[in-house]
């Protein structure tokens, strides 16, 4: 029995049940790599996948600025409103948590599966939104860190 393939299949099924297409697509791609003997790519994906994903996410977040949707006046105005200043502070904190999450996921890869399962359960049962394992790992690191 191919246990990793079974785990990927179960996680893909949980992604389908919860309506989390991101998890479903990721698990199916990894499953396809596994069954087509392209699993030699796994060490490369493990080493660079997170960095590439963060680059793509950053491109998506910065696209409105690049497209001209937000001009300099709009960006400057964000420093003049208390809600926008609070949003900036929360953004800084969430980025900090994401950094802690990357560290935790790098040193404790077994936690990743628990974070994915927790995210899927939150989406499926509590009408949550899959905000990402990095932030969840960052929050978890606050609870389990020793210093």
Q: What is the pLDDT of residues 58-91, one digit of tens each?
A: 899 899 999 999 888 888 887 888 888 898 899 8
DSSP the chain: --HHHHHHHHHHHHHHHHT-HHHHHHHHHHHHHHHTT-GGGHHHHHHHHHHHHHHHHHHHHHHHHHHTSS-HHHHHHTTSSHHHHHHHHHHHHHHHHHHHHHHHHHH-THHHHHHHHHHHHHHHHH------HHHHHHHHHHHH---
- Name the nearest CA neighbour of 135 among 87, 95, 103, 90: 95
In angstroms, rounded to a whole number, what is the distance separating the alpha carbons of residues 73 and 105? Answer: 38
Q: What is the pLDDT of residues 90-119, one digit of tens each?
A: 989 988 998 888 888 878 878 888 887 887
CA-based end-to-end distance of the chain:
41
Q: What is the pLDDT of residues 20-56, one digit of tens each?
A: 788 889 889 999 999 898 888 999 988 888 889 889 9
Q: With bands split at pLDDT 50, 70 and 90, how would you rate the model's confidence at 146?
A: low
For residue 147 the two structure tokens come to 């210093």
């Amino acid at each position: 029995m191919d246990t990793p393939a079974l785990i990927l299949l179960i996680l893909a099924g949980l992604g389908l049940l919860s309506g989390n297409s991101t998890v479903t697509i990721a698990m199916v791609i990894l499953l396809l790599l596994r069954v087509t003997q392209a699993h030699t790519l796994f060490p490369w994906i493990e080493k660079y996948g997170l960095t590439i994903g963060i680059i793509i996410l950053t491109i998506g977040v910065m696209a409105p600025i690049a497209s001209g949707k937000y001009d300099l006046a709009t960006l400057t105005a964000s420093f003049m409103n208390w809600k926008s200043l609070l949003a900036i502070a929360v953004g800084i904190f969430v980025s900090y948590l994401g950094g802690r999450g990357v560290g935790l996921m790098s040193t404790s890869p077994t936690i990743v599966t628990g974070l994915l399962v927790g995210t899927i359960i939150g989406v499926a049962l509590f009408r949550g939104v899959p905000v990402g394992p990095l932030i969840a790992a960052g929050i978890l690191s606050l609870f389990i860190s020793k210093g």
